[in-house]
Structure 1
Amino acid sequence: MTPTQVVFDIGNVLVDWQPHLAWAQDMDRAAIDAFMQRIDFGALNLRADRGARFEDLADSLDDPADRARLKQYVPRYALTVPDRVPGTWDLVDRLIARNVPMHAITNWSLETWPEGLKVHPRLGEIFGTLVVSGAVGLIKPDPAIYRLFCARAGVAPEACVFVDDKRDNCEAARGIGMDAIHFTGADALQAGLTDRGLL
């Protein structure tokens, strides 16, 4: 089946996410990197994407300064997503003009999602079905989150082409029957969507 609908990842496909910017007003980049490595920010962020609260994650840290610093993350979240990814929103507008249904499956904390919408309000407007991992307790590449999306959207996996900057997330989408495009930039995405007759 030729896909008729596009399912986007959001972070680093539509919105440039730079978590270190939450602390750029307080520390230089080397100190921020050391802090993020010390607390294993990537692992904590994945727990938040699955539904944990950042305050609880912070309270699990041993060092009081690290605890206080991580608790700043949600209030400062808007600082971490200042920019759009170049070129992809032009493709979104072209898809809208062609009446191509668009959806999203995003690994995103339920706490930080509203903060991201303050900076990029169109994220709350352009998707027919949106699955935010922190709201459902599932994260990509768990096949269950793709199946949940299909159930909510009322679409067959084969009707969808999924776009994500992480190869393993694309492989998981293919595993349940979706087509997928590994996002490496707007030009390659444009070519992939054009090849599928969507642009």
Structure 2
Amino acid sequence: MTQPTINHVVFDIGRVLLHYDPQIPFSRIIPDEHDRRWFFENVCTHDWNIEQDRGRGWQEAEQLLIEIHPDHAENIRAFRSNWHEMVPHAYEGSVEIMRGLMEGGHDVTMLTNFASDTFREVQERFDFLNETRGVTVSGDIGVIKPQREIYDSHVASFALEPAETLFIDDSPANVEGARAAGWHAVHFTGADQLASDLEKLGVNY
């Protein structure tokens, strides 16, 4: 099989370049494992949180939940106020690969599902998030992966050729979304596997 021509590499951020785990602060806030699991399954759920990635403000998000779960108001507000603890460190192996690609002359951008304010927060904490040619943040444009519109928006913003673009994401659904938009894409499971995937595609760094 002929290797594709890859001229652009696009990185997801959460769980690809940055570690993200809401359990970190909440293991302290709600020490009981059963109660904590119930809270994430019924109150501050993934579906609730993803709407902040789509652009909903935190005040509105908190109020919606507090109206339904008034007894959990303090813990609902604790999600945002302790959010910084959920992103404790970068994945150095992935960052090294990203920087290596840029140093090797590859065009690198980022495409992420992230609330606008929390993304700016991590941008201040982690310098490498300011080193690529740019980033599309879902919270800024009101569209999330794996919706086709976010991939097309990224292509338009950075003048990319989809058939020459490689996307790296930890979510299989987002990988498939990129492929549906005409991109090449690999499922991120770790830096070593990413290095192997890049080698197979002929993307050197």
Report the TM range for the smaller structure's normalisation.
over 0.9
Partner Cα distance (1:57, 1:20) in 2: 19
In structure 2, the gaps of 5 or more residues are: none
What pairs up with 1:40-119 in 2 under 5 angstroms? 40-61=44-65, 62-119=68-125
Q: Per the alignment, do residues 35 and 115 of structure 1 end up closer, same or farther by CA in structure 2, a change over 3 Å counting? A: same
TM-score, length-scaled by structure 2: 0.90
Whether the 8 Å CA contact 1:173–1:179 is kept in 2: the answer is yes
User: How many residue pairs align between the two structures?
Assistant: 198
Runs of 4+, deviation exceeding 4 Å: none
> What residue number does 1:181 align with?
186
Partner Cα distance (1:51, 1:97) in 2: 33
Is 1:196 the counterpart of 2:197 in the alignment?
no
Whether the 8 Å CA contact 1:53–1:111 is kept in 2: the answer is no
1:15-61 CA deviation, whole Å, 9 max, x = no partner? 11001223333221513222111215201111111011122112112
Q: CA RMSD in A?
A: 1.6
Whether the 8 Å CA contact 1:82–1:119 is kept in 2: the answer is no
Q: Per the alignment, do residues 65 and 86 of structure 1 end up closer, same or farther by CA in structure 2, a change over 3 Å counting? A: farther
> What residue number does 2:6 align with?
3
Q: Please point out which of 8, 15, 39 is paired with 1:35.
A: 39
In structure 1, the gaps of 5 or more residues are: none
Partner Cα distance (2:22, 2:118) in 1: 11
Whether the 8 Å CA contact 1:50–1:139 is kept in 2: the answer is yes
- Which segment drifts farther, 19-28 or 95-104? 19-28
What SS does the aligned partner of 1:141 have?
Answer: coil
- Which segment drifts farther, 63-72 or 93-102? 63-72
Partner Cα distance (2:10, 2:81) in 1: 29
1:139-187 CA deviation, whole Å, 9 max, x = no partner? 0000100000000001111121000011111111111111001111111
Q: Please point out which of 164, 167, 171 is paired with 1:162.
A: 167
Partner Cα distance (1:11, 1:114) in 2: 14
TM-score, length-scaled by structure 1: 0.92
Partner Cα distance (2:161, 2:48) in 1: 33
What SS does the aligned partner of 2:168 have?
Answer: strand
What SS does the aligned partner of 1:103 have?
Answer: strand
Percent of residue pairs identical: 28
Which is richer in helix?
Answer: 2
Whether the 8 Å CA contact 1:129–1:149 is kept in 2: the answer is no
1:67-113 CA deviation, whole Å, 9 max, x = no partner? 33222222322100002225211211211220211111100011211
Whether the 8 Å CA contact 2:29–2:75 is kept in 1: the answer is no
Partner Cα distance (2:13, 2:99) in 1: 15
- Which segment drifts farther, 33-42 or 45-54? 33-42
1:113-142 CA deviation, whole Å, 9 max, x = no partner? 12222332321x122131000110000000
